[in-house]
A and B are shown apart, each in its own frame.
Chain A
């Protein structure tokens, strides 16, 4: 079946602009994760959704970052007033439920000029 998909694959934006990154998880997967991969910080957890439970936002680096998951499926990660240090590859992963294998999407490469 189809894997995790993310869009756009690349996004170039100017400092101060808002961006939205989209993740389509594998159908039927109830858990969804966002991670960030950057040169300086490696791979770091951002936020986790599991079913209808309150999301675990403990990894969001600032209040400029937010995410939502509509209808238990598609998720959008929003970065407001982007800064150059936000430049990274943003990865989405989904799993059948908590504690199951996480399947990763190809990522969105964000470049903030």
Chain B
């Protein structure tokens, strides 16, 4: 079945460092790909998405590119802030079903 694998955390960075959180997927067909973020004490929020190969999703300085050849959707940010500290979830939804399949989540901790 469809699945998402993302890197284990926690990821600990200093402010202004470069961030990469790896995400790979297994799916039949052509899924849509998402990054969700969960800030401390808050609910899940959609951060960005891409619906077809080579699409780049971007929001709040974060980017991820849908790479069909490597089945990946890595999250990147050039300069993280303390306020980016949160848990990040990679997810997919198949074209024939709308349920989201999530990775295990990666906790990011940014220190000043």
* B100 lies within 8 A of chain A by Cβ: yes
- Can you name 8 A-B residue pairings with CB atoms under 8 Å? A43-B91, A45-B99, A50-B98, A99-B32, A101-B46, A102-B98, A102-B100, A107-B43
Residue numbers in B under 8 Å from A43 (CB-CB): 89, 91, 100, 102, 105
A-contacting residues, B34-90, CB 8 Å: 36, 42-46, 49, 89
Q: Are B43 and A45 in contact (CB under 8 A)?
A: no
| Chain A, interface SS category | strand
Task: Tell me, rounded to whole Å, the shortest Cβ–Cβ distance linking B79 to chain A.
Answer: 27
Beyond A91-B43, A102-B46, A104-B36, 7 extra complex contacts between A and B, CB < 8 Å? A35-B102, A43-B89, A44-B102, A48-B98, A95-B98, A99-B32, A107-B43
B-contacting residues, A19-66, CB 8 Å: 31, 33, 35, 42-45, 48, 50, 56, 58-59
Residue numbers in A under 8 Å from B104 (CB-CB): 42
* A72 lies within 8 A of chain B by Cβ: no
* Range for the number of chain B residues in contact with chain A: 20 to 34
Q: Choose one: A48, A104, A107; the contact of B99 (CB below 8 Å).
A: A48
Q: Choose one: B32, B46, B89, B99; the contact of A33 (CB below 8 Å).
A: B99
